[in-house]
Amino acid sequence: MDLAEFFKEHTKVALGFSGGVDSAFLLYAGIHYGADIRAYYVKTAFQPQFELEDAKRLAAKLGADMRLLKLEVLQSETIAANPADRCYHCKNQIFGRICEEAGKDGYSVILDGTNASDQADDRPGMRALTELQVRSPLRECGLTKSEIRRLSKAAGLFTWDKPAYACLATRVPTGMKIEAELLNRIEQAEAALKELGFSDFRVRVTKDGAAKLQLPVGQLTRLLKERERIAETVGAWFEEVLLDVRNCR
């Protein structure tokens, strides 16, 4: 099966939309193949503002129907406690909300952007998608991340080379309580690094509350040259700023 066949069979669908490479291409494909596809973006404390802006920008460019939903995930004590299977509980809430709202809007088939490169064993959130009967057309059609980027570039989508971006909660060590104030500091620190021209990085938090920077190997030389500016900008949000040399991206 390819995407043309999928959307010929499923002509009315709702999409869990993040504005990332995969869901962006899936939204484009649904429109391209003539499906009645509505995008649902769920804004939580785990998504930085730029992700929402990217989603709005892409939806506007495609002329897509996009609905914005808000969800207070940190009201869940289980999610806030940040257990090893936090992603399952979070995904269950997010797509549970999408299923609920899409059902009210007349959509019974729900999609997500999981692709063929994503390993189920590494993504506990996939269990929630399975339980909620969410379909993953990119995965079902065998489309890998590299293929999706190639097709996105050919389609003129600005998301084609967008770096992979995991939610802000992934910056917090398992078992460490997630608080809105901490997520805000992480988001601001990452925004500061982005303003300095760095890309595809992470600002993770240690159990002691320090910021631990993970950057691509190719950006380390520049980081060392600009360490004073980085210490100043990231240091505005964290008292201690560390460089993780073992886990360069």
SS (H, E, C) 145-205: HHHHHHHHHHCCCHHHHCCCCCCHHHHCCCCCCCCHHHHHHHHHHHHHHHHCCCCCCEEEE
Percentage of the chain exceeding pLDDT 90: 85
Among 101, 129, 161, residue at a domain's last position: 161
Q: Are residues 24 and 139 in the same domain?
A: yes
pTM score, two decimals? 0.92
Same domain? 120 vs 184: no
Residue 107 lies in a domain: yes
For residue 115, the enclosing domain spans 3-161
Average pLDDT over residues 163-173: 92
Residue 245, pLDDT above cutoff 70: yes
Are residue 25 and residue 60 in the same domain, yes or no? yes
pLDDT tens digits, 5-53: 999 999 999 999 999 999 999 999 999 999 999 999 999 999 999 999 9
Kindly state whether residue 224 falls inside one of the protein's structural domains.
yes
What's the pLDDT at 248?
A: 67
Name the pairing type of β-strands 65-70 and 110-111. unpaired
Residue from 149, 147, 89, 113 nearest 40 by CA = 113
What is the rounded distance in angstroms from the CA atom of residue 124 to the CA atom of residue 176? 18
Which tens digits make up the pLDDT trace of 101-135?
Answer: 999 999 999 999 999 988 655 567 888 999 999 99
172 lies in a domain?
no
Cα–Cα distance between 223 and 241 in angstroms, integer?
12
pLDDT-above-70 percentage for the chain:
97
How far are the Cα atoms of 9, 50, 211, 245 from residue 201, in angstroms, in the given order?
Answer: 40, 15, 12, 13
**128 plus 43 within the same structural domain:** yes
Residue 22 sits in the same domain as residue 117: yes
pLDDT at 165: 85
* Residues 157 and 184 both lie in one domain: no
